[in-house]
Amino acid sequence: MIDLTFQKLDDAAVQKFLSDISGDMAPITFAEGKTTVESAALPFYDEFKLYAISDTTLPAPNTRYVLYKPGDVSVMNWTNEPIYSVNERAPIKVDRKTSLPYARFFFHFVRGQLGRFIIVEKPEEVTWLPNANEKEKADVNQRLTPIAYKGIGRDNLITLTATVVFKNALFKTDIKIAPFEMDVPDPEVGGMEHFTIGQMKLTNEELLLEELNVPVDPPPGEFG
């Protein structure tokens, strides 16, 4: 589960922030006095922060997110593109301490058209449908593990391990992260695979349980 501490901006700071990003957000506009803005520091960026912009004239969900530092804004769109773009400009710092919060952040904000990978570490992080039974929940709970740092492999990629829900199945998987731009041997194709800094890859997926009574998220819309 993503763990961020958001701080609410005061009215003057909201007005200045919205003025700074208005050109990048067009044609989206923000109703004066009806927009709240919160910011959260991210340990893997020195200057960029995550901003949550909520349009209170709309029912929830009503929040858009941007990565921002003065003069540079990237609108989050539930793909990896804005994250990878900021990684190269920031640049991102990926090490033993920051790789875990980065992975949680990445998989929260990247939601594919075919489904999303949801990192689940604790029983309370699994969302169940009403028809899920106690045995099914117990089977899942006993297989959950905290996301963990495994080290840097021979491929020079940082390796984490985690349990994830994808659609209605539970998997154990390794998460590979590039700490810098590099070319990595790909044994599946017998060639080299290029990684940009902070680029992710899932490997060694192990199916643990399937046909779970959990909701399957639809493709993401404007607000997730």
pLDDT tens for each residue of 60-111:
899 999 999 999 999 999 999 999 999 999 999 999 999 999 999 999 999 9
Question: 12-31 in b/e burial notation, b at 16+ Cβ within 10 A?
Answer: eebbebbeebeeeeeeeebe
Instruction: Determine the Cα–Cα distance for residues 150 and 50; give it in Å rounded to an integer.
Output: 27
Please say whether the beta carbons of 120 and 166 come within 8 A: no
Q: How far apart are CA 200 and CA 159, in angstroms?
A: 10
CA angle 96, 98, 104 (to 5 degrees): 115
Angle (CA) 103 105 106, round 5°: 65
pLDDT above 70 as % of the chain: 100
In whole angstroms, what is the distance from residue 212 CA to residue 224 CA? 22
Q: What is the dihedral of CA 7, 11, 12, 15, to 10 degrees?
A: 100
For residue 17, what pLDDT band results from cuts at 50, 70 and 90? very high
pLDDT at 223: 86
Question: Which residues does 155 contact at the CB level (< 8 Å), separation at least 6?
Answer: 176, 184, 185
**What residues are paired with 205 via a beta bridge?**
none
At 128, is the pLDDT very low, low, confident or very high (cuts 50, 70, 90)? very high
Other C-beta atoms lying within 10 Å of the C-beta of residue 73: 20
CA 67 to chain centre: 12
Per-residue model confidence as pLDDT tens digits over 175-198: 999 999 999 988 777 789 999 999
pLDDT classification of 1: cutoffs 50, 70, 90: low
